[in-house]
Amino acid sequence: MKRILSVGRIHKIFEAVNEALREAGFTVVRSRSATYAKWLLRKDQHDMVLIGPGILTQERALLIDCATRTCPNARIAVLNMQHDSNPVPLADAALSIDAGTGTIVHALRLALQQPKKLAPNLSAKLLCVCATQSAAVLRRKALEEEGYEVASVTTLQELEATCRSNVFDLVVIGPAVGPRMKLSISDVLRKCRCYSPMLELGRTSPEIANARAVTETNHYEWLLAIAQLLSEKVEQR
């Protein structure tokens, strides 16, 4: 029996689609928030993630990115409102919610039978450098909720030891890390031959040469910046 994680706010037509899927023999696990859906993705494997209305574009992008990491074989399907014509990267199916329950169930059944779209970055290991231990714990928790494998450090000694025994896809530097510390971090990374992309949080422009920066004005901004950097890295291979 195929298992579908259905994510979306309360919507009459969307609930009708979920009921039609159950009647068609699917197991439907319901989530009204992207945050809870990410927890469910880490808890169990699903054959499809169905994203319905009410999930913001930024939330949807991060949910899809998380799903490709934690459930790499799951199909991704999106139900748009009729006026929403934005493309959905990595979605195996994108339909209008006004298409009708029968048409939607048929399309989702077909999507489950088609080859899975290949995600550019199915896994990623991040190194998070923070000024304090409490900040490191919070940052690590937020990144792990997105499906990343995360190591966090707060000192140069920890940084060097961690880099000598691990290979990272991206280095994330917290907003409270000072300019001098950042230069020392850069020196340690070169010493350890860690040439991974770097992202400085809380900055309009980077203080480390060749790094990227993001102002971190909201929760989604820096998470989307991380996903974008990882995608660019894979595309350059």
Highest mean pLDDT: which range of 52-66, 118-132, 144-158, 221-235: 144-158
Residue 88 pLDDT: 64
d(CA 80, CA 53): 6
Q: Could you give the C-alpha distances from 49 to 20, 52, 205, 233, in angstroms and in order? A: 16, 10, 36, 26
Span 43-57, pLDDT tens digits: 899 999 999 988 888
- The token pair at 212 is 């990227």
* Contacts (Cβ under 8 Å, ≥6 apart) of 84: none
| pLDDT band for position 74 (cuts 50, 70, 90) | very high
Q: Please give the torsion angle defined by the CA atoms of residues 118, 122, 44 and 23, in that order, rounded to the nearest 10 degrees.
A: -20
Exposure on the CB side of residue 10, measured as CA atoms within 13 A: 0
Q: Could you give the C-alpha distances from 151 to 47, 124, 148, 224, 229, in angstroms and in order? A: 29, 11, 10, 19, 18
| pLDDT band for position 86 (cuts 50, 70, 90) | low
Residue 122 pLDDT: 56
Look-up: residue for tokens 């896809």?
Answer: 169
Backbone angles phi, psi at 131, to 5 degrees: -80, -30
Residue 120 pLDDT: 52
d(CA 118, CA 131): 37
Q: Do the Cβ atoms of 51 and 76 come closer than 8 Å?
A: yes
Residue 126 pLDDT: 95
- Asked if pLDDT for residue 40 goes beyond 90, the answer is yes
| pLDDT band for position 28 (cuts 50, 70, 90) | very high
Span 189-208, pLDDT tens digits: 999 999 999 999 999 899 99
The mean pLDDT of 49-71, rounded to a whole number, is 88
Nearest Cα residue to 34 out of 215, 170, 220, 214: 220
- Asked if pLDDT for residue 59 goes beyond 60, the answer is yes
